[in-house]
Amino acid sequence: METTWRPNGANVSANCSDGFNKFVQPLWQIALWAVAYLGIVLVSVVGNVAVIWIILAHKRMRTVTNYFLVNLAFAEAAMSAFNTVINFAYAVHNEWYFGLIYCRFHNFFPIAAIFASIYSMTAIALDRYMAIIHPLKQRLSSTQTRMVIGVIWVLALLLAFPQYLYSSTAALPGRTVCFIDWPEYNTVDFRKIYYVCVTVLIYFLPLCIMGWAYMTVAVTLWASEIPGDSSEHYAEQLTAKRKVVKMMIVVVCTFAVCWLPYHVYFLLHQFFPELFEERYIQQVYLTIMWLAMSSTMYNPIIYYCLNSRFRAGFQQVFCCCAPTVNKEELLELKSPRYLQTQVSRGVSARVVHSLRTHQNPSVFNKKAATAALAPPPRTSDLSKPASLARLSSRHKPSTGWEREPELIG
């Protein structure tokens, strides 16, 4: 993860010994790679900025999950804009043109951005888990969500700080290189320990957490039913929740597939550096790096394909597609009144489930996970038990977007 993070996968110390640069490509190869990498930057920056605008410009979209999506979009757009092209230029020429300060930033920021990206996805997975498995427990407030995002970035910067601290440049005959000058100890290989820890923390650990959360949620949504609840509203809520979870599972799987070769590559490099001295390794590195960097451009495409409100938002952003905007989707995207109606219906469903659980716990105890999907009670039922009014007041949602029953779907 050196110089996003080690140029060409080549051994920097070996290259530094004589200044000879054996990783020189013909012009046509450079042109093809340039088109491929510039395509990533264009799609990623435009798409992720559009995602941020869609969420922040529409009250209907300002939800807990969507604020984590804003953080995810910001991290990916920033990494694409500030690192992809520079990393490509260095990987192609194996010569650093941008000075010591940017060398440090270039080694430091990608780890922080990847950490922020994957832990934003992890936060979304845990939020979906709490919303569906424990629907009556209090959800994150707006202040708590901002605090979680802040903590994610603080931890990301701390994890990446060694990359900044030990980054350096070296002037060789005819060229300059940017590399990480790790301290050497007789008993401890700090570099290997650091990269193993980074790989676990920004890839394997969060993927395990998300896998567990989404597996539990999927079993609940696709394999569970509430006895007697087959109303149209119940079916609509169930379908909406399934769509949200399905979209996020696609996002996580895409991220995992794109970054797996990259992490394997650098782990191999730490333990078997002799494999990376051949000239062909440059093409291998450029391919693996392109796949990893391309992960920053897929999420806006996934949102457009799998979410009607994001689709309407993208069609608003790109005026040439405006005539195809579905009026109903556009109304849902903009209308706060529609949101308030949905919130009321969701809260009523939770209240009814709570009463049923107290009345017949043997039947409904195992179904608490899908209680938020239950249909609203009949008006005649609401007027009967006096305890319902008291229970409703206890579960009345606070103002703001932290209590919205369905977030992006």
Q: Summarize pLDDT for 353-377 with one digit per residue, the tens.
A: 555 544 554 444 444 444 445 555 5
The per-residue DSSP string of 296-327 comes to HHHHHHHHHHH-HHHHHHHHHHSGGGGGG--H
Residue 335 lies in a domain: no
Q: How far apart are CA 292 and CA 287, in angstroms?
A: 9
CA atoms within 13 A on the CB side of 255: 27
Q: Decide if pLDDT at 344 tops 90.
A: no
Residue 340 lies in a domain: no
Q: How far apart are CA 155 and CA 324, in angstroms?
A: 43
With the C-alpha atoms ordered 334, 337, 338, 339, is the resulting torsion angle positive or negative?
Answer: positive
Report, as an integer, the average pLDDT of 84-108: 90
Q: Which two tokens stand for residue 193?
A: 């320990």
Q: Give the model's pLDDT for residue 258.
A: 97
Residue 191 lies in a domain: yes
Q: What does residue 79 show for φ and ψ, rounded to 5 degrees?
A: -65, -40
Q: Which H or E run includes 237? A: helix 232-271
Residue linked to tokens 């920004």: 202
Residue 203 Cα distances to 26, 147, 257, 258, angstroms: 35, 23, 11, 11
- 136: nearest Cα among 347, 341, 343: 347
Q: How far apart are CA 367 and CA 224, in angstroms?
A: 8
Residue 263 lies in a domain: yes
Q: Summarize pLDDT for 221-269 with one digit per residue, the tens.
A: 887 655 445 567 777 778 888 888 999 999 999 999 999 999 999 999 8
Q: Could you give the percent of the chain with pLDDT greater than 70?
A: 70
Q: Give the model's pLDDT for residue 349.
A: 52
Q: How far apart are CA 77 and CA 80, in angstroms?
A: 5
* Number of Cβ within a 10 Å radius of residue 28: 8
Q: Decide if pLDDT at 23 tops 50.
A: yes
The rounded mean pLDDT for the chain is 78
Residue 57 lies in a domain: yes
Q: How far apart are CA 174 and CA 171, in angstroms?
A: 8
With the C-alpha atoms ordered 248, 252, 253, 254, is the resulting torsion angle positive or negative?
Answer: positive
- Provide CB contacts within 8 A for 394, sequence distance 6+: none
pTM (two decimals): 0.75
DSSP letter assigned to residue 372: G
With the C-alpha atoms ordered 179, 181, 187, 193, is the resulting torsion angle positive or negative?
Answer: negative
Instruction: Print the domain residue range for 238.
Output: 7-327
Residue 97 lies in a domain: yes
Q: Which two tokens stand for residue 14?
A: 């070996």
Considering just the CA atoms, what is the radius of gyration of the chain in Å?
25
Report, as an integer, the average pLDDT of 63-89: 93
Residue 223 lies in a domain: yes
Q: Decide if pLDDT at 8 tops 50.
A: no
Q: Summarize pLDDT for 161-217 with one digit per residue, the tens.
A: 999 999 999 998 888 999 999 988 777 888 899 999 999 999 999 999 999 999 999
Q: How far apart are CA 123 and CA 120, in angstroms?
A: 5
The per-residue DSSP string of 73-138 comes to HHHHHHHIIIIIHHHHHHHHH----SHHHHHHHHHHHHHHHHHHHHHHHHHHHHHHHHHHHSTTSP
Q: Domain tally for the chain?
A: 1
Q: Summarize pLDDT for 382-397 with one digit per residue, the tens.
A: 344 444 444 444 444 4
Q: Give the model's pLDDT for residue 235.
A: 76
Q: Which two tokens stand for residue 200?
A: 């676990």
Q: Are the CB atoms for 79 and 296 separated by under 8 Å?
A: yes
By residue count, the chain amounts to 409
Whether the bond into 5 is cis, omega within 30 of 0:
yes
Q: Give the model's pLDDT for residue 288.
A: 95
User: Between these two residues, 358 and 293, which has the higher pLDDT value?
Assistant: 293
Domain containing residue 134: CATH number: 1.20.1070.10
**Strand, helix or coil at 178?**
strand
Q: Give the model's pLDDT for residue 164.
A: 95
Q: How far apart are CA 80 and CA 153, in angstroms?
A: 17
Per-position b or e across 50-73, b if 16+ CB within 10 A of its CB: bbbbbbeebebbbbbbbbbbbbbb
Least confident of 1-15, 20-34, 152-166: 1-15
Q: Which H or E run includes 180? A: strand 175-180
- 367: nearest Cα among 187, 213, 234, 204: 234
* Coarse DSSP helix, strand, coil percentages of the chain, rounded to the nearest 5 percent: 75, 5, 20
Residue 33 lies in a domain: yes
What pLDDT band is residue 91 in, cutting at 50, 70 and 90?
A: confident
Q: How far apart are CA 50 and CA 53, in angstroms?
A: 5
